[in-house]
Amino acid sequence: MSEPLLDVVGLGLDLLVAGEPRSVLREVSFSVAAGEAVGLVGESGSGKSMTVRAIDRLLPAGARQRGSIRFAGQDVAALSGAALRTYRAEVAVVFQDPRVHINPVRRVGDFMTEVLRTNRGVKRREAAQRAVAMLAKVGIPDGERRLDQFPHELSGGLLQRVMIASALLTEPRLLLADEPTTALDVTTQAEIMGLLDELRRDLGLSILFITHDLDLAAAFCDRTAVMYAGEIVEVRDARRLHDDPLHPYTAALGAARPLLDRTVRHLTAIPGRPLSALEAPPDACAFAPRCVHAEDACTSGAPALVDLDGGAVRCVRADVLRGTLGGVPHV
């Protein structure tokens, strides 16, 4: 089996909170193969975006990282200077709200061409020509006019396409898409997802797609990794995870979603409240207080991520519960 393009093994991360190191990621392990789309799914606070920041070396001061992140065989933590700049060109990021990440007082053209001019030494005119061509590729005509506009003159959907075009200008091998459709209306969401899927096929991109939507991950991704309280709790083929989850949290997420083909008086809610990684117990299953299948064994030690049924799951009762948790209902 060939080496994965991105290989995250035992990733742990401590951040300074009130001057004290606190764990926000624990034993996060997954991989992304060349040309593969992998979904990273979980509730807010589960650690998805912090995982993306660790992969792209965008961590705050004082952060302490454990485990390893390897890209194309290189240790990402060991990169610096020109090697790190090259890495960040090959691993591009699309954030969830373009209005937060694009400078509102600079023109779109300045934003798009900056990395080409500063890191690649491309002349301004050639950089603008490349930007116009990339805007056309993501479905934005009249690129010359768009480059001269300010961000507030573009709709949310157009601005997200600009973000995607900007990320693709450096010809990356891996795209980290951090909930790129969250701030958009449903119709625009579908357009952006269709665009990402088309670009993936045409350009041979690998994509790590961060979302809170199991249905979207199943439709777009080859495999899905589910996070809870700073840990990966399940990794599996996206469709199999959707239809036959191995972890009770994955099943509970699916059961809690509304359906369009039926009317219910109350949605099925997961009892209790989600734990942040900062609150997760180090010596027990973090989901145990909310899990209807929990037993004493679930609180007597931290479960390991073990291989099962073509995937991996972090649950001491996974083998017993396999096939009984039910799938995510289809719309």
What is the per-residue pLDDT across 2-16, written as a single tens digit (0 to 9) for each? 689 999 999 999 998
Q: Are 93 and 178 in contact (CB under 8 A)?
A: yes
The reported pLDDT for the residue numbered 115 is 85
Torsion sign across C-alpha atoms 119, 120, 121, 125: negative
Question: d(Cα 77, Cα 56) in Å, to the nearest integer?
Answer: 10
Q: What digits encode the pLDDT tens for the residues 241-266? A: 988 999 999 998 888 776 655 666 66
Residue 100: CB partners within 8 Å, gap ≥ 6? Answer: none
The token pair that represents 167 in the structure block? 């990320």
User: Residue ranges per domain, the chain?
Assistant: 99-171
What is the chain's alpha carbon radius of gyration, rounded to the nearest angstrom?
21
- Write down the pLDDT at residue 101: 84
**For the sheet containing 223-228, what is the strand order?**
91-94, 174-178, 206-211, 37-41, 223-228, 231-237, 311-313, 306-308
Record the tokens describing residue 37, joined without a space.
């789309």
* Six-digit token string for 138: 């993501």
Greatest pairwise CA separation for the chain in angstroms? 66
Residue for token pair 């480059």: 147
CA dihedral sign, ordered 246, 275, 11, 72: positive
Q: Helix, strand, coil shares of the chain as percentages rounded to 5?
A: 40, 20, 40
Compute the distance between CA of residue 140 and CA of residue 228 in angstroms, rounded to an integer: 37
Residue 212: DSSP 8-state: S
In DSSP terms, 208 is beta-bridged to 38, 176
The C-alpha atoms of residue 49 and residue 40 are separated, in whole angstroms, by: 9
- Block residue for tokens 């291989």: 307
What the block records as the tokens of 4 is: 């994965």
Residue 263: the pLDDT is: 65
∠ CA(245), CA(246), CA(248), 5° rounding? 85
| Helix (H) / strand (E) containing 227 | strand 223-228
- The CA-atom distances, in angstroms, between 297 and each of 26, 260, 283, 285 are 20, 38, 11, 9
Q: Report which of 198, 193, 199 is spatially closest to residue 211, judged by C-alpha positions.
A: 193
Residue pair 233/283 in contact (Cβ under 8 Å)? The answer is: no
Q: What is the pLDDT along the chain (331 residues), one digit of tens a residue?
A: 568 999 999 999 999 888 888 899 999 999 999 999 999 998 888 999 999 999 999 998 889 999 999 999 999 999 999 899 889 989 999 987 888 888 899 999 999 999 888 878 889 999 999 999 999 988 899 999 999 999 999 988 899 889 999 999 988 999 999 888 776 778 888 888 888 898 888 888 999 999 988 888 999 999 999 999 999 999 999 999 988 999 999 998 888 776 655 666 667 778 888 888 888 888 899 999 999 899 999 998 889 999 998 899 999 999 888 888 865 444 3
Q: What type of residue is 224?
A: T
